[in-house]
A and B are shown apart, each in its own frame.
Chain A
């Protein structure tokens, strides 16, 4: 086992992780940073984000608008003090990215162009064509080369954290190419490992979005918060789940059912005219749009494709020139993966799991329950998304809170004493456990257990839930955990570059994260934001205006409790979209 001594270890090299590493380097270049990622950082899933990142810059926009859009979009489950910090720092981070070379799209005069996004009152989404996440990630990755204090450890898979007396003292990783175990002894750590969408069958996520960061913190006593809130993105290709960005709708695309009818007007998002109009019709929030699909489907008004039911995302009226200039990636993806030319035909789309609102519970400084462990990005729940995330708030989140986590970790590392004495022993124990998986002689295949988990989640913890369905999922996941413990047999006995072994380790943590999601969904007996129940269709602020907390209980089901939501100036109201309004000018 190899030992690397460092000051701050950042686990995850996506938008949040890179931003955190840079923040540590900028704040104190004498602190050693180890950036550990299971892929080379430009492969991180931030790369696939398309639509843009929010930041108030227009003269007719205010921080209050962004605050109110976010809080109401989150169905009042947001911690409003953290939202205040967030909206106040978005534009600054976007400007920082611009200084670092991010190719934001511009107006003719060279100033930054911003567009509409779902649930937003004013245009404030900065975008770089329709591949904003790609550009944001590459900008951060390339800029990170400026800081010699950041040592990168690419393709190192983190299997466990070393936590001594409630404080993080190290991280154990597998160097993928060789299978060697490498432990990073640290004073502070940042978790930036992304979401857990792959626990569901239909999702927009990359194969790497398996939630192990959440699992790692969870196993060491950190609470996972608001796990039942999973976002379905309303416009994804059936079958593969490949994302058709919200930016299409921000540029004026419409959704029609099999009769060519813009059905969203039946679900409280109308009237139709004038179009386009902020927060109305196709520019409504994602949870409402996904839920509308579900109802249309039940009514039999969706179109049938070989990959399942779908509705039409129609861009044709926008014209070839605008489509090709503003949405080139979508055009290519639709042609390649759906065999459809958006200039000539509508694209078949349906909801798929896209984002995990929940995550490791963290406060406004990104501090978790474990001392010295900070969390940022999709793996965290700092309190800005509440029950439903608005599009373009997530890319902004990675950099705003990536910076906060990095600075918090740097401050902690500066004050912290030397690393714990038992870290190496704990690492050896964890290493033995990981190696035991490699040598198991009997058991089930990873793909079988994983497939059953994905189907159970899709069935039981889907767009609409019932007590019966979530209880069924809880039971099934519990059973799968037991079968996992009984044994997983690998075809591959190698140490070197054994991705089957890694997928088995991932599966263990995915099952625990999925279980936390299912039990949290069972506990919350109301409908709020992305968590909708057929047997409790109203929002119940009296009983459930609280965060859900899931804590691991060894091999048994997690314990679910709650924690208060910080409400400062926006009191819960009904979420109103659609309605009157003037025609918006699309930029």
Chain B
């Protein structure tokens, strides 16, 4: 085929162009916040390994306004990450053969709540011993 000069439009800042792309980028960005939280926890673990004084210093820092703000941010990231993960997870699974009606938002929310209760109970039992 003889060539004609086709034109390729540059992608530019494509992620700003529509709500779906922006939500996608927010989802991807939330993993950075998740990573930041993992680093924070690791840092806290390391401070723990350095003895009582270091650990108390760490706890003090955690109570500071800056740390609380940081943690709220990371919590937001966690929530976005979790919710979007549950949104896309079904796309990664083969057809189960279950009718569509079997998986509902209510059902997922109930399961999430139930697991929260279990974790809370375990935490209470663990700390009360």
Contact = CB atoms under 8 A, between A and B. Distances in A.
B99 to A, nearest CB: 14
Given A178-B2, A178-B4, A496-B4, 10 more contacts: A2-B2, A175-B1, A175-B2, A177-B1, A177-B4, A178-B1, A178-B3, A180-B1, A180-B2, A497-B4
> Secondary structure of the A side of the interface?
loop
Interface string A155-185: 0000000000000000000010110100000
Nearest to A494: B4
Nearest to A179: B4
A177 B3 CA distance: 9
Interface residues of A, number: 7
Give the top 7 A-B pairs by smallest Cβ distance, nearest first.
A496-B4, A178-B2, A178-B4, A180-B2, A177-B4, A175-B1, A178-B1
A374 to B, nearest CB: 28
- The range of chain B's interface size is under 10
Interface of A: 2, 175, 177-178, 180, 496-497
Interface of B: 1-4
A497 B3 CA distance: 12
A531 B2 CA distance: 48
A177 B1 CA distance: 9
A584 to B, nearest CB: 32
Contacts of A178: 1-4
A178 B6 CA distance: 11
13 contacts: A2-B2, A175-B1, A175-B2, A177-B1, A177-B4, A178-B1, A178-B2, A178-B3, A178-B4, A180-B1, A180-B2, A496-B4, A497-B4
Contacts of A497: 4
B45 to A, nearest CB: 56
Contacts of A175: 1-2
Nearest to A153: B1
A211 B25 CA distance: 50
Contacts of B4: 177-178, 496-497
Contacts of B3: 178
Contacts of A496: 4
A497 B4 CA distance: 10
Contacts of A180: 1-2
Nearest to A177: B4
A497 B2 CA distance: 13
B3 to A, nearest CB: 8
A40 to B, nearest CB: 14
A2, A177, A497: residue with the most chain B Cβ atoms closer than 10 Å:
A177
Contacts of B1: 175, 177-178, 180
Nearest to A497: B4
Contacts of A2: 2
A157 to B, nearest CB: 14
A207 B2 CA distance: 27
A469 to B, nearest CB: 47
B6 to A, nearest CB: 9
Nearest to A155: B1
A80 to B, nearest CB: 47
A2 B2 CA distance: 9
